[in-house]
Amino acid sequence: MASTLPPGDPAPADGSLPPEALAGLGSRPFGVYVHVPFCATRCGYCDFNTYTAGELGTSASPESWLEGLRRELELAAQVLGSAPPASTVFVGGGTPSLLGADGLASVLDAVRASFGLTSAAEITTEANPESTSPEFFAGILRAGYNRVSLGAQSVAPHVLQILDRKHTPGRPVAAAGEARAAGFEHLNLDLIYGTPGERPDDLQASLDAVLDAGVDHVSAYALIIEEGTALERRIRRGELPSTDDDVLAERYEQVDSVLSTSGFRWYEVSNWAASMAARCRHNLNYWRGGDWWGAGPGAHSHIGGVRWWNVKHPARYASTLAEGRSPAAAREILSEEDLRVERVLLEIRLTEGLPLSVLDEPGVAEAKAAVADGLLSQSAFDGGRAVLTDEGRLLADAIVRRLLP
């Protein structure tokens, strides 16, 4: 979760939600996101709400965070009343694997205690390769996790150095092998492309390594230079070049070509899966406007058109909950127009695209023009949907601006 929180209206101290937000609870998928705010070191490109031990000092610890998490999940169950069991759980961060298998088992136990889980729940944890081991994977599998997302980013040593990643180039593939050996069927590896100094051969080596790892899901993101990060400062000082948009487009086409040739299919602009079962159901719930409770410092939630976000610092998060108050910093109640705009922003990025009925009249006219420009599929448009072409995926953000004139 990004470190800068948006403005919003004050959130009730008891965490209560309007009756209309709760009215459809259970008719939509329901997921739980848990934010682990701890990292061993800070990567130069990262602006997520994370903290190293040196930054926290004695103000917060994994133990105080976990106690706060239990309290928030208990509060969530009270607020939601007859909440459905969670169909997806995603533990992200930060570096969840720093908690160890026992710590992650405690996290999942807390979710079970407050909500329960569906029989076929997708339960994911992120992990950094350098803080995993065969014993770790065996432990989290026993605890109930059935999907792992590993941060690889690159296998090129000079790219890892620029990103301030601490793992060795071969560690992500080794970690994936350990997870498979432990019994995990669903594995994701994250890649970042467009790092200053990255060459096509560097990206190809990373893609080859990902395919050798035997994972069934790949996420690949263009490097975004976030303001205030160490990497942004280096580029601003002229120590590193910024990446040209045309180069990013070439890198994306390279990723898509290699993965598609190897049996992966894109289902969201930055995500490829080897099968329907390999798709990340938790993220699809985000993109399709479902319900989820985000627990942890800085985590965001959405229930029935109400979105809120928690206080950021782990110490304040824990102390607020210890005082019996909701950790929500602020919230917003989304209007029908807000929800429509968000549908366009998110669903256009999915392989099935967006119903044209979501667009207003000027938006439909723009969609028709985008078809003529080769950016949206003609056959999908004729069937009542706006679906990106291969060229359109390179310009997804620009197409959104056209569809929301």
The length of the chain, given as a count of residues: 405
Q: What pLDDT is attached to residue 55?
A: 78
* 231 touches 240 (CB < 8 A): yes
Mark which of 224, 254, 288 sits at the end of a domain: 288
Local confidence band at 4 (pLDDT 50, 70, 90 cut-offs): very low
The mean per-residue pLDDT over the stretch 146-171 comes to 86
Domain co-membership, 27 together with 167: yes
Domain co-membership, 174 together with 96: yes
Model confidence pLDDT, tens digit, residues 67-94: 999 999 999 999 999 889 999 999 999 8
Domain co-membership, 143 together with 257: yes
Domain co-membership, 268 together with 380: no
- 306 within some domain: no
Domain co-membership, 49 together with 134: yes
The mean per-residue pLDDT over the stretch 16-29 comes to 93
Q: What pLDDT is attached to residue 44?
A: 60
- Select from 40, 62, 127 the least CA-distant residue to 90: 127
Higher pLDDT, 158 or 328: 328
Sign of the torsion formed by the C-alpha atoms of 325, 330, 336 and 342? negative
Mark which of 261, 288, 315 sits at the end of a domain: 288
Model confidence pLDDT, tens digit, residues 131-145: 999 999 999 999 999
- Select from 148, 111, 107 the least CA-distant residue to 131: 148
Full residue range of the structural domain in which residue 235 is found: 9-288
- In 3-state terms, the chain is what percent helix, strand and coil (to 5)? 45, 20, 35
The mean per-residue pLDDT over the stretch 243-247 comes to 88
The rounded mean pLDDT for the chain is 92
Number of domains, the chain: 2
Domain co-membership, 147 together with 281: yes
Model confidence pLDDT, tens digit, residues 346-378: 999 999 999 999 999 999 999 999 999 999 999
Q: What pLDDT is attached to residue 32?
A: 98
Domain co-membership, 283 together with 339: no
Higher pLDDT, 49 or 285: 285
Domain co-membership, 340 together with 283: no
- 298 within some domain: no
User: Taking 80 as the threshold, does the pLDDT of residue 123 lie above it?
Assistant: yes
- 195 within some domain: yes
The mean per-residue pLDDT over the stretch 317-327 comes to 97
Domain co-membership, 216 together with 82: yes
Q: What pLDDT is attached to residue 80?
A: 96
Specify the range with the lowest mean pLDDT, choosing from 157-171, 269-283, 306-320: 157-171
CATH number for 57: 3.20.20.70
Model confidence pLDDT, tens digit, residues 251-263: 999 999 999 999 9
Domain co-membership, 85 together with 192: yes
